[in-house]
């Protein structure tokens, strides 16, 4: 089932026996099931996490199933709702369908009919999703809040981000470094009802654990040496909006425990203060680490992991998005050419061939940096293999690197077809582009000064 693993179904029924039977029936068919005894409890459950389908009684104390339907459709039009009733009535059925219900089933429930309804509902949902993705792919590309893609996996992720953003639930974004986790966090905030409120970002790797705690929770005067005044933390600054906790896998156990209390109680205590402060925020977290493995080794709290993992988005590495590479190259080339005021309009096919086979350990961020450096050293309108950074050739398989050499050069009888020759040529071009300044050349090549000096000596470049 791809992104969701299992469809999520919410059962809303005031009769505990029927509720329990439906939960068992659906769980046996591998649905992820939650239950609510009233429409009000259902709305509370929906505030915590999105669902794919709601199976609701029509007549319940307080809010009816049809009133619940009106509330839900206003919040999330993609939710499917099937109504149940013990009072067979054409009027009820017509009213339910007109209000947006997907279908209608009578009590006592015919479970074979219910199974057929569920099959039809999710088959229609699958076809609608596939049709939407097909239309997007036929358009050639999709730009979604700064992210560029046409691969099916990314288009499904874009669709899920749109749905998840409507809910205030905690979100966890995972993926390798450079895959765009911060862009996803910003999209979740910008598409949410909180878009007019602040999005506060905290990189959990930049501060020591003791300083990070003060940064997140704030402190009172005298809490520690140097605390000469009360200070509001990032959680308080994000009140009413969202907070993005980047690299959450780096949190110390003490800060993990405090974060769990924030999620559960929506309150914080400044460092050095016994007073609890209520906050209303949405927490979006991200990490490039394997939190499952960290839970197994005791490095990350299991209860915190499950609290964070309510809305989970896993970004694929660029090496799994080969059909997106050319699109990303076009996008970055146009953007960087404008910013750097360089008249470079094309990336040669040999370079694109290398890009399509490269493993991209730094993912999209690495691709952006490679194109930027190539633009700086390029003298004509086309990026050629000799414009690629030296470490890029060193990391690529030799066959792929040689295949990228232009045919006109390969035919030259005195052309040195070696990786070393490509490396030597690239260093010379970088020095020329840097006006002979070695520090600047090292920066363009992505090398340390010591490494550049060693290579200059190796190749006899003065």
For residue range 13-45, what is the model confidence (pLDDT) as tens digits? Answer: 999 999 999 999 999 988 989 999 998 999 888
Residues 300, 334, single domain; the answer is no
| Higher local confidence (pLDDT), 424 or 38 | 38
**Domain of 14: which CATH number?**
3.40.50.2300
User: What's the domain range around 210?
Assistant: 144-314
Final residue belonging to a domain, choices 314, 340, 370 = 314
For the residues 401-411, what does the mean pLDDT come to? Answer: 41
Residues 401, 443, single domain; the answer is yes
For the residues 394-400, what does the mean pLDDT come to? Answer: 46
Residues 158, 284, single domain; the answer is yes
For the residues 271-294, what does the mean pLDDT come to? Answer: 92
Q: 219 falls in which pLDDT band (50, 70, 90)?
A: confident
Q: What is the chain's mean pLDDT, rounded?
A: 83
Q: Name the burial class of residue 91, with classes exposed (0-12), middle (13-18) and buried (19+) by CB atoms within 10 angstroms of its CB.
A: exposed
Q: Which residues are CB-contacts of 235 (< 8 A; sequence separation ≥ 6)?
A: 216, 217, 218, 243, 262, 268, 279, 281
For the residues 221-238, what does the mean pLDDT come to? Answer: 86
Number of structural domains found in the chain = 3
> What does the radius of gyration of the chain's CA atoms come to, in whole angstroms?
28
Identify the pLDDT of residue 290.
Answer: 94
**Domain of 345: which CATH number?**
1.10.8.60
Q: 139 falls in which pLDDT band (50, 70, 90)?
A: low
Identify the pLDDT of residue 397.
Answer: 45
Q: Is the peptide bond before 77 cis (omega within 30 degrees of 0)?
A: no
Identify the pLDDT of residue 398.
Answer: 42
Q: How would you classify the pairing of strands 142-144 and 147-149?
A: antiparallel
Residues 173, 213, single domain; the answer is yes
Residues 286, 389, single domain; the answer is no
Residues 151, 287, single domain; the answer is yes
- pLDDT > 70: percent of the chain: 87
CA distance 351 to 333: 13
Residues 256, 385, single domain; the answer is no
**Domain of 235: which CATH number?**
3.40.50.300
Residues 154, 84, single domain; the answer is no
Q: Is the pLDDT of residue 188 over 60?
A: yes
Q: Is the pLDDT of residue 314 over 60?
A: yes
**Lowest-confidence range among 11-15, 134-138, 354-358?**
134-138
CA distance 462 to 452: 12
Q: Which candidate, 401, 390, 361, places its Cα nearest to that of 455?
A: 390
Q: Which candidate, 81, 71, 80, 86, places its Cα nearest to that of 14?
A: 86
Phi-psi region of 145 (alpha: psi -120 to 50; beta: other; left: phi over 0): left
For the residues 338-347, what does the mean pLDDT come to? Answer: 90
**Lowest-confidence range among 53-62, 289-298, 443-452?**
443-452
CA distance 15 to 36: 10
Residues 165, 260, single domain; the answer is yes
For residue range 64-94, what is the model confidence (pLDDT) as tens digits? Answer: 888 888 888 777 777 888 988 876 555 666 7
- Could you tell me the pTM of the whole model? 0.69
Residues 58, 164, single domain; the answer is no
3-state secondary structure the chain: CHHHCCCEEEEECCCHHHHHHHHHHHHHCCCEEEEECCHHHHHHHHHHCCCCEEEEECCCCCCCHHHHHHHHHHHCCCCEEEEEECCCCHHHHHHHHHHCCCEEEECCCCHHHHHHHHHHHHHHHHHHHHHHHHHHHHCCCEEECCEEECCHHHHHHHHHHHHHHCCCCCEEEECCCCCCHHHHHHHHHHCCCCCCCCEEEEECCCCCHHHHHHHHHCECCCCCCCCCCCECCHHHHCCCCEEEEECHHHCCHHHHHHHHHHHHHCEEECECCCCEEECCCEEEEEECCCHHHHHHHCCCCHHHHHHHCCEEEECCCHHHCHHHHHHHHHHHHHHHHHHHCCCCCEECHHHHHHHHHCCCCCHHHHHHHHHHHHHHHCCCCEECHHHCCHHHHHHCCHHHHHHCCCHHHHCCCCCCCCHHHHHHHHHHHHHHHCCCCHHHHHHHHCCCHHHHHHHHHHHCCC
Q: Are 69 and 101 in contact (CB under 8 A)?
A: yes
- What token pair was written down for 158? 């874009």
The helix-helix angle for 111-138 and 152-165 (nearest 10°) equals 120
CA distance 312 to 292: 13
Q: Is the pLDDT of residue 416 over 80?
A: no
Final residue belonging to a domain, choices 281, 314, 347 = 314
Residues 23, 91, single domain; the answer is yes
Final residue belonging to a domain, choices 314, 336, 370 = 314
Residues 376, 408, single domain; the answer is yes
Q: Which residues are CB-contacts of 304 (< 8 A; sequence separation ≥ 6)?
A: 256, 257, 259, 260, 263
């Amino acid at each position: 089932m791809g992104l969701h693993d299992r469809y999520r179904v919410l059962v809303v029924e005031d009769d505990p026996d029927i509720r329990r039977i439906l939960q068992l029936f659906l769980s046996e068919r591998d649905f992820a099931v939650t239950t609510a005894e009233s429409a009000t409890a259902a709305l509370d459950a929906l505030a915590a996490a999105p669902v794919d389908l709601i199976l609701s009684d029509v007549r319940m104390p307080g809010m009816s199933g049809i009133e619940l339907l009106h509330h839900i459709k206003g919040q999330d039009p993609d939710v499917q709702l099937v109504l149940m009733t013990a009072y067979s009535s054409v009027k009820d059925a017509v009213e339910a369908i007109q209000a947006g219900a997907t279908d209608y089933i009578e009590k006592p429930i015919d479970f074979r009919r219910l199974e057929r309804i569920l099959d039809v509902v999710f088959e229609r949902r699958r076809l609608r999703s596939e049709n939407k993705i097909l239309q997007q792919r036929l358009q050639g590309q999709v730009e979604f809040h700064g992210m560029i893609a046409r691969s099916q996996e990314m288009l499904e992720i874009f669709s899920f981000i749109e749905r998840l953003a409507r809910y205030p639930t905690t979100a966890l974004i995972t993926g390798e470094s450079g895959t765009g986790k911060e862009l996803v966090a910003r999209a979740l905030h910008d598409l949410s009802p909180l878009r007019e409120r602040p999005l506060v970002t905290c990189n959990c790797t930049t501060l020591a654990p003791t300083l990070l705690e003060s940064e997140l929770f704030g402190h009172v005067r005298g809490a520690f040496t140097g605390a000469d005044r009360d200070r509001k933390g990032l959680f308080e600054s994000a009140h009413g909006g969202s907070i993005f906790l980047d690299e959450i896998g780096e949190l110390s156990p003490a800060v993990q425990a405090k974060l769990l209390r924030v999620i559960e109680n929506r309150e914080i205590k400044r460092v050095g203060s016994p007073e609890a402060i209520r906050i209303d925020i949405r927490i979006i977290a991200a990490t490039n680490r394997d939190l499952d493995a960290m839970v197994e080794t005791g490095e990350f709290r299991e209860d915190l992991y499950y609290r964070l993992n309510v809305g989970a988005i896993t970004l694929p590495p660029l090496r799994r998005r080969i059909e997106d590479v050319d699109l990303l190259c076009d996008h970055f080339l146009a953007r960087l050419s404008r910013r750097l005021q360089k008249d470079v309009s094309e990336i040669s096919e040999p370079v694109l061939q290398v890009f399509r086979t490269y493993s991209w350990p730094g993912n999209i961020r690495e691709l952006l940096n490679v194109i930027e450096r190539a633009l700086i050293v390029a003298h004509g309108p086309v990026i050629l293999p000799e414009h690629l950074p030296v470490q890029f050739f060193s990391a690529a398989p030799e066959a792929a690197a040689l295949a990228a050499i232009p045919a006109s050069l390969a035919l030259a009888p005195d052309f040195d077809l070696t990786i070393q020759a490509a490396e030597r040529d690239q260093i010379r071009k970088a020095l020329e582009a840097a006006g002979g300044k070695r520090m600047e050349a090292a920066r363009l090549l992505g090398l340390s000064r010591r490494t550049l000096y060693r290579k200059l000596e190796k190749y006899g470049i003065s």
